[in-house]
Structure 1
Amino acid sequence: MPLSRRSLLIAAGAATPLLLARPAFAAPPDLATPEGWLAWAAAHRDGLGLVLDDGRGGRLAHRADAAQPLASAVKVLHLAAYQNAVASGALDPREDVRVGDWERYYVPTDGGAHPAALQHLGVPLDETGLHAADPERRVTLDDVVAVMIAFSDSAAPDLLRDRLGAHAVTRAGAARGWPDADVRSLCAEYLFLVLPETAPPAGIPQAARQEWGFALEQRHRDDPALRQEVLRRLQTQLPTYPEQIAWASTTASGSSARVAAVHRALSGEGGLARGHLEHALAGSLPPGVSGVGLKGGSLPHVLTCGISVRREDGSTGWGALLAHGEITAEQLSTGDPGLPLLMAIQDPRWRDRFATALGG
């Protein structure tokens, strides 16, 4: 089974029109296999950020501090902030959330993650297949967080950040080894792609871009007409794949070292966050492993994942892989960045092969 949940950009439920891969002269490596990742890493050393520690003295790092697009791997920060808020009593995981309020942050460019999340929670879809048929339906806050991780729902992190404040998310990251994290609005970033006229000026500082995005997110949240315009635009004016690639390079970034640090911390803390991260693989663990927590993501030309591996002997491995470069639509749909991480953490021979591919 796949080791990560990937989110591919779509429009109105159709993936193919929005993901148009360029013709290739040779078959690209299969990123659903470990050998494929070796080949990709060897050919794209300047596009890979990697850090891992097997918890037994074995380590590997390559461009570990280089900032690269994070895609949905950034959501581990929102999960950490949620854990802090529950621990302090600021949030109750049993709180009822109106689905219509959750969906005010939703831009249908997530590869069907939100509709899949709704169906998983037993919420019927409307005739478009994108939203809840009844916006008055209630789910628990912990349900929303669970599908943020399991299905990579991209409205959930904005709902959490808006409730808690951006500083709560950055503080949660800083306390776990990720200072000055980029916690801009995901809703706004998608709107910049779908409605390019709403995008901030080129070269604007990160802090100003973040505030611009928060203001646009609030407009989207509070203005049904804007949400309708987004749907109309997605049905009539799809961004080209080159436009998507250029846009993805401007989205939230961070380093593999920072992503890995948060996964390591949350694994050690236990509680709700570790439970959500480890849920997907709870029924298919390797021998001697008591838990594998991970959160991955994808955007055009981007595949990412952070991971932790708890073993029955008490040791813990951890790491992160951020890939950015020539990645086709097919590779995005099948590629699994968690696979090479898990293998390199668990098998020293595989880690050595990875190091060789990276020129080490």
Structure 2
Amino acid sequence: MASAAERDGGRLPAPPRTRPSAAPSIAPPFAPFILPSTAQKTALTSNDSRHSINDTWLSCIQESPGDVSLYFDDGRGNFITHGSQLRRPIASTVKLLHLVAFAEEVAEGRIGIRDPFSLASWDLNHLPGTDGGARARSFDAFGIRHEGERAADPQGSVPAVQLAKAMIGFSDNSAADCLHDLLGPSRIVRIGARYGWPEADLRSVLGELLLLVTDAPLEGVGPAERRRLGDELRQRYATDESFRVRAAHRVPVAAAPTAYERQAHWAAGGPAATARQIADLMTTVARGAVRAEEPKQLAQRFLEMQTPRLGVPGLVGSGAKDGIFPGILSTAVNTRWSDGRTGVAVAVVSRLSQAGYATAARSGPLSGPLRRALVDERWARGLAAAVTEVKDTESPVAGRSDEVGDVYR
């Protein structure tokens, strides 16, 4: 068997608090359901200080503190938590589970990163028009010929590693479902538990999208039943060409700005987790990478693929995964340092209004400003000061990590 290497190939004032200008009541034109984490690569990689933490994130905390969760620990003593044990829908941030499971399976030799995966199967996991062009961009990046959002040669194959790269680098939903099948959902959930995310709510993304475009009745439907219904629709999509055509024709209707309330209601019932669970996974990955544990190193490399080099002394790397669905904004960021220290920041916002959703989509991923807070103590203090001011039934905690108990050791 090939080796792993062969398989891989002075204090300043806090930033000024600003409130975002009112947004037009439209959904982002480039992403009817999902804004891929790299839909605007400049937003993801920008170091511009105008991307203030406050532009989107702090206004959400201040205006609707009950709809926000935050877990922040920069590893140097700054610790902030707000609603971190509350389960909220997390959109594409759930793909972190697929990533760590893939890395573990590769490290254990159960899957080779060059193992072929059928392009036809990748096609059958995709509902055109629902990912903001993520799939086409991933095909372009890998040199895969395609006609629109379908592979030009469905009889071809891709190495399994490209599925993971497409899922994390471009937030390709169909790639996530391919890994869901390749790894097995029960295996993904078990591995997620080992990384600090127990009893994960894992579902097929395509199945969820089909529930939306077919107007499936979802009121009062719990996660397990919704998973079953989605799996049934997904199976039908794979075997019934006429159903695939009808589903694709329904996308423009389901994605219309006038259907935002329906979209947001659907997204609110999607896979959920706590900010603390996500933070545990991200910290496990970063710490394992620092200790040169093979699967964690591999997972961290994927997370760091398209994140910026900040030029911060001692910063070895920083990984991130963002997610956005109608009404939902989520991000998870970690940092690792040359002295062995790690940091983590997780933010989840739910019940965004249509105007708030449009503003969030235009502002770019939250991972950028939260990464700044992880590497610049001035930004961390500004975030802590703003969160501490929030008046809510659940009092936020902000302070030094040696002063509170809910912190990584």
Q: Same fold (TM over 0.5)?
A: yes
Aligned match of 1:43: 63
**Does the aligned pair in 2 maintain the 1:18–1:241 contact within 8 Å?**
no
Does residue 143 of structure 2 align to residue 114 of structure 1? no
Does residue 84 of structure 2 align to residue 84 of structure 1? no
Does residue 83 of structure 2 align to residue 60 of structure 1? no
Does residue 317 of structure 2 align to residue 278 of structure 1? no
Does residue 248 of structure 2 align to residue 222 of structure 1? no
- Alignment partners' CA distance in 2, 1:262 and 1:304: 15
Shift of 1:289: 0.9
- Alignment partners' CA distance in 1, 2:286 and 2:346: 14
Higher deviation after alignment, 186-195 or 154-163 = 154-163
Shift of 1:254: 0.8
Higher deviation after alignment, 96-105 or 67-76 = 96-105
Instruction: Give me the TM-score of the superposition, normalised by structure 1.
Output: 0.86
CA 1:333–1:227: 2 relative to 1, 3 Å = farther
Shift of 1:277: 0.5
- Alignment partners' CA distance in 2, 1:175 and 1:43: 36
What pairs with 1:300-315 in structure 2 (closer than 5 Å)?
A: 300-315=326-341
Does residue 320 of structure 2 align to residue 294 of structure 1? yes
Shift of 1:167: 1.0
Instruction: Give me the TM-score of the superposition, normalised by structure 2.
Output: 0.76
Aligned match of 2:365: 336
Aligned match of 1:71: 91
Does residue 409 of structure 2 align to residue 357 of structure 1? no
Shift of 1:237: 5.7
Higher deviation after alignment, 255-264 or 229-238 = 229-238
Corresponding residue SS for 2:198: coil
Letter in 1 for 2:117: V
- Alignment partners' CA distance in 2, 1:272 and 1:263: 13
Aligned match of 1:213: 230
Does residue 112 of structure 2 align to residue 99 of structure 1? no
Corresponding residue SS for 1:290: strand
- Alignment partners' CA distance in 2, 1:131 and 1:317: 39
Shift of 1:256: 0.7
Corresponding residue SS for 1:319: strand
Aligned match of 1:345: 374
- Structure 1 residue runs without a partner (length 5+): 1-9, 20-29
- Alignment partners' CA distance in 1, 2:209 and 2:372: 33
Corresponding residue SS for 1:51: strand
Higher deviation after alignment, 56-65 or 348-357 = 348-357
Corresponding residue SS for 2:305: helix
CA 1:235–1:41: 2 relative to 1, 3 Å = closer
- Alignment partners' CA distance in 2, 1:221 and 1:272: 31
Letter in 2 for 1:277: L
Q: Deviations over 1:86-141 (max 9, x none)?
A: 12222111011221211211123111111111111111221xx2222221232210
Q: Deviations over 1:232-279 (max 9, x none)?
A: 222456451221122111111111111111111112233321110111
Corresponding residue SS for 1:136: coil
- Structure 2 residue runs without a partner (length 5+): 1-25, 35-48, 290-296, 391-395, 397-409
**Does the aligned pair in 1 maintain the 2:210–2:230 contact within 8 Å?**
no
Aligned match of 1:185: 204
CA 1:235–1:210: 2 relative to 1, 3 Å = closer
- Alignment partners' CA distance in 2, 1:50 and 1:16: 25
Letter in 2 for 1:41: I
Aligned match of 1:253: 272
Letter in 2 for 1:232: H
**Does the aligned pair in 2 maintain the 1:248–1:300 contact within 8 Å?**
yes
Q: Which residue, out of 131, 134, 141, partners 2:153?
A: 134
CA 1:237–1:154: 2 relative to 1, 3 Å = closer
Higher deviation after alignment, 209-218 or 44-53 = 209-218
- Alignment partners' CA distance in 1, 2:274 and 2:32: 31
Corresponding residue SS for 2:126: coil
**Does the aligned pair in 2 maintain the 1:125–1:131 contact within 8 Å?**
yes
Higher deviation after alignment, 203-212 or 229-238 = 229-238
What pairs with 1:141-180 in structure 2 (closer than 5 Å)?
A: 141-180=160-199
Does residue 52 of structure 2 align to residue 33 of structure 1? yes
Higher deviation after alignment, 284-293 or 317-326 = 284-293
- Alignment partners' CA distance in 2, 1:62 and 1:17: 30
**Does the aligned pair in 1 maintain the 2:192–2:198 contact within 8 Å?**
yes
- Alignment partners' CA distance in 1, 2:211 and 2:235: 14
Percent identity, please: 32
Aligned match of 2:30: 15
Choose 1 or 2 for highest CA Rg: 2
Q: Deviations over 1:150-171 (max 9, x none)?
A: 0000011211122222111111
**Does the aligned pair in 2 maintain the 1:31–1:336 contact within 8 Å?**
no
Shift of 1:178: 0.7
